[in-house]
């Protein structure tokens, strides 16, 4: 068995399943994908359910999603998760796309059902569940600030916020042009949410951030050692909720700053967990994989 598979391994069951006790029928697709924690939560859930299925990491080069889907269907895969940078390509290569995924503008969960490839997105709903689990408050009632909103995760979470009707949503990004396009798309969802945009250099940013109840980092800033906090301390006030979508390291520079300011904090572990459970339920309706997944993720390798 391999830690990471490539498309060249999807030539036959003999090659793909060599040395394995279960057939690979689910995968996470990314470039790169070696870091993905998805197998660590999905495999325990599969095993707990007594399913004869193996979940693998599949490294797919940009532009090769159509080939990946074709090979996976030919080998009898049930579906897959899709991560960076393939979520838009996945959306474009599904036969049918769920309304939520269309609104979010990306697909992160695929079901190979019958003759059709079906696309879904569990990122936004998974985030909403994570916020309620971590802070005991529904996302729909919070004034939200999203830092780094121009990327895929930021856009998905922003869309989820608007779909739920949060009262106020502030989008912050280095490049404001990206936000204007997003804000225009959000405006077409027919929500009552008041959407504002700012750059990190805007002089009124600190005051605007302090007016928020939930601050979310959806950028990759904080992932690497030595990264600065994405926001400065004057953007924070005691009692705010601060969620960083990064889960490794568990305490990012933003979360350390927020804890020092008296904020309640949480990292992306819970979002990873909840979006994974929702994806699992797309493949296996009626199942409840959450606790098996939680235990699997707790076994950090």
87 is a catalytic site residue: yes
Strand partners, 55: 26
* CA–CA dist 162, 168 (Å, integer): 9
103 burial (CB, 10 Å; 0-12 / 13-18 / 19+) is buried
Tell me which of 2, 22, 34, 87 is the catalytic residue. 87
Contacts of 155 (CB under 8 A, 6+ apart): 104, 105, 106, 149, 182
Sign of CA dihedral 144, 258, 203, 156: negative
Contacts of 279 (CB under 8 A, 6+ apart): 81, 108, 109, 120, 122
- Tell me which residues are annotated as active site: 87
């Amino acid at each position: 068995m391999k830690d990471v598979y490539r498309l060249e391994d999807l030539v036959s069951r003999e090659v793909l399943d060599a040395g394995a006790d279960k057939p690979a029928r689910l995968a996470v697709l990314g470039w790169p994908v070696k870091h993905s924690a998805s197998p660590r939560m999905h495999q325990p859930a599969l095993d707990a359910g007594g399913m004869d299925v193996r979940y693998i990491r599949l490294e797919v080069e940009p532009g090769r999603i159509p080939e990946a889907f074709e090979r996976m269907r030919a080998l009898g895969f049930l579906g897959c998760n899709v991560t960076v940078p393939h979520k838009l390509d996945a959306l474009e290569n599904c036969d049918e796309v769920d309304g939520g995924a269309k609104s979010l503008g990306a697909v992160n969960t695929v079901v190979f059902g019958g003759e059709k490839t079906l696309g879904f997105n569990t990122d936004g709903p998974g985030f909403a569940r994570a916020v309620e689990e971590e802070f005991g408050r529904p996302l729909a009632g919070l004034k939200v600030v999203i830092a780094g909103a121009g990327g895929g995760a930021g856009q998905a979470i922003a869309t989820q916020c608007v779909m739920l009707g949060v009262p106020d949503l502030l989008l912050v990004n280095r490049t404001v042009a990206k936000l204007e396009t997003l804000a225009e798309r959000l405006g077409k969802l027919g929500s009552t949410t008041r959407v504002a945009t700012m750059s990190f250099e805007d002089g009124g940013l600190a005051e605007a951030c302090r007016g928020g109840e939930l601050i979310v980092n959806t950028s990759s800033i904080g992932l690497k050692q030595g990264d600065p906090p994405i926001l400065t301390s004057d953007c924070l006030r005691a009692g705010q909720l601060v969620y960083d979508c990064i889960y490794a390291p568990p305490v990012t520079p933003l979360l350390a700053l927020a804890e020092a300011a008296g904020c309640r904090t949480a990292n992306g572990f819970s979002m990873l967990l909840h979006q994974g459970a929702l994806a699992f339920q797309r493949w296996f309706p009626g199942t409840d994989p959450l606790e098996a997944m939680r235990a699997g993720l707790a076994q950090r390798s």
